[in-house]
Amino acid sequence: MEGDLAHIGAGLAAIGSGAAAIGVGNVAGNFLSGALRNPSAAAGQTATLFIGIAFAEALGIFAFLVSLLLMFAV
CB 71 within 8 A of CB 8: no
In angstroms, give the least distance from the CB of 70 to its own copies: 6
Give the whole-angstrom CA distance, residue 57 versus residue 61: 6
CB of 43 to its own copies, least distance (A): 9
Least distance CB 3 / its own copies (angstroms): 3
- Compute how many other C-beta atoms are within 10 angstroms of the C-beta atom of residue 71: 15
- C-alpha 38/C-alpha 64 separation (Å) is 36
Task: Restricting to residues 27-56, name those near its own copies by CB under 8 A.
Answer: 27-39, 41-42, 44-46, 48-49, 51-53, 55-56
Residue ranges binding its own copies (CB under 8 A) = 1-39, 41-42, 44-46, 48-49, 51-53, 55-64, 66-74
